[in-house]
Chains A and B, each alone.
Chain A
Amino acid sequence: MTTTMAPAFQDTPLVVGGRTFRSRLLVGTGKYKDNPTMVRALEASGADVVTVAVRRISLDRTREEGILFHIDPTRFFLLANTAGCYSAEDAMRYARLAREAGFNEFIKLEVIGDQKTLLPDVAGLLEAARTLVKEGFTVMAYTNDDLVTALRLEEAGCAAVMPLASPIGSGLGLLNPYTIRTIKARLTVPVIVDAGVGTASDACVTMEQGVDGLLMNTALAEARDPVAMAHAMRLATEAGRAAYFAGRMARREIAIPSSPTTGMLS
């Protein structure tokens, strides 16, 4: 006799800028040791959204193909970024070029303020966000974990706010759960943590804060086995989301036994 059980936890899709995505894990396409590894890792991650960068095409006849040679744009939603932009003007320029490629009007907006830490230039970020929103872009803004900046980005019309867990490529994981929880509690638009996730536990802990999604790149690309790590991240993202909805137990500074204290033998 078989029993049909209701699934232990059923998540809802991620909705950003009017588009629906099954997976809450967004993955970058940079820095993989080779393209076949990248493609297998993207598949294993279960991601629907992948980020790409905009760069000059090589004019040399021996040029390598662009990323679209390896990634099927009907299978993945391409989220172009403005990586490497240090001013609002640059970021807007790159965003417009990205939109011209003709896939969608989404942009992962990055305006970097410091080369060593790759932390955002908040003033430039807000300026670019405001202008791009007016031009009809669906702006997902990479930012620091400052609540006020997050609120300003939402006010500017961003479709999602993407605070960092720790600096890009650092693999330090979630450095400040409090700030991330605070941002999630106060914002209406989706909060997707972008940058700094290093391994599966980082992804799980971050999702446990209640955020709507995660974006990671280096954690996969620089893992010894990116495909296995992508699989781990997929599970971790789902685990963290389920744990969040499960409602964790309280933390205590004393021990409380799990087994009865009565009925002990004399």
Chain B
Amino acid sequence: MIGPLPRLHAVTDDRVVAQGRVVERAAEMASVAGAGLAVHLRARGLPGSEHLGLAKRLASALAAHGSWLVVNDRVDVARTAGARAVVLGHTGLSVRDARRVAPGIPVARSVHEAAEARAAEAEGADFLIVGAIYATTSHPGRRAAGPALVEAAAGGLPVIAIGGLTPGNASAALEAGAWGVAAIRALWDAPDPAGAVRAFLAVLPGTTTVVVAVNGESRTVAEGTTLAGLLEQLGLDPRAVVVEHNRHIVRRDGLAQATLAGDDVIELVHFVGGG
């Protein structure tokens, strides 16, 4: 998988999408969490071109902070919008078929039982969305399985726990073996989404972030991000850009060794037309 899987996942549903301002709210969250955040676009109610349009705008807004766009079900939209991962529902495409549509993009499976988790692992999924851990009004029909489901599902693949997760109960899921947590209402319905993100980040491991300046713009990246990782996040080919890190030019073969620290100043330049 390209880059570490974010620990915090903000999942939308048709209701969240219908509220509007999805891109603006996602950008607010992304500016706080940077590479520690993945925003899932789940929008079954949207017609194709609107779905794609929203996905593209989200991808653009999130990429600036290093946050992931994850598209649910619509592998075609994921590919065209440049999503960082795709999530298949239990009745969705097979992992193999999804990879044929969108090669090179990590594929996750959404599962509700341990057996489904095993099956997803066997078919080569990259990570799992496991729920519902707690009761949630987002899925009123689904039985809350508790953190034990995380324990049962956790095997070789990273598990993102979903279903009624809050900053208050996230640690139980983590102790049961979850890599991270996903939330709908706790983030999108919060009066202060950025504050809600901070509250989650405080209980999630390894999501320390640093703030650097890239081409004059402030950017939050996960601690430990290297220049190579930054270029990856930005979708830049290292052969197409010259990198200056705190006024030192970094050669291409040194990009993976240069770790970003807080307040670093990075300039990424290339040749343009000129006289």
Contact = CB atoms under 8 A, between A and B. Distances in A.
Contacts of B273: 28-32, 38, 52-53, 67
B240 interface: yes
Contacts of B247: 93
Given A59-B217, A61-B60, A66-B240, A218 B275 contact: yes
A215 B275 CA distance: 8
Contact of A54 (B56, B64, B217, B269): B269
Given A56-B269, A59-B234, A61-B60, A97 B244 contact: yes
Contacts of A217: 274-275
B271 A52 contact: yes
A61 B59 contact: yes
B270 A83 contact: no
A101 B272 contact: no
A215 to B, nearest CB: 8
A98 B271 CA distance: 8
A55 interface: yes
Interface in A196-218: 215-218
A80 interface: yes
- Interface residues of chain B: helix, strand, loop or mixed (majority): mixed
Interface in B245-275: 247, 249, 251, 267-275
A211 to B, nearest CB: 18
B22 interface: no
Nearest to B60: A61
Interface in A9-52: 28-32, 38, 51-52
B196 interface: no
Contacts of B216: 56
B190 interface: no
Contacts of B235: 61
Classify chain B: how many residues form its interface, as a range.
20 to 34
B270 A57 contact: yes
B82 interface: yes
Interface in A55-113: 55-57, 59-62, 66-68, 78, 80-81, 83, 93, 96-98, 100-101
B242 A97 contact: yes
Contacts of A147: none
9 contacts: A52-B271, A52-B274, A57-B240, A59-B214, A59-B215, A66-B240, A68-B240, A97-B244, A216-B275
Interface of B: 56, 59-60, 63-64, 82, 214-217, 234-236, 240-242, 244, 247, 249, 251, 267-275
Closest 10 CB pairs of A and B: A53-B274, A217-B275, A28-B275, A29-B273, A52-B271, A66-B270, A30-B274, A30-B273, A56-B215, A61-B60
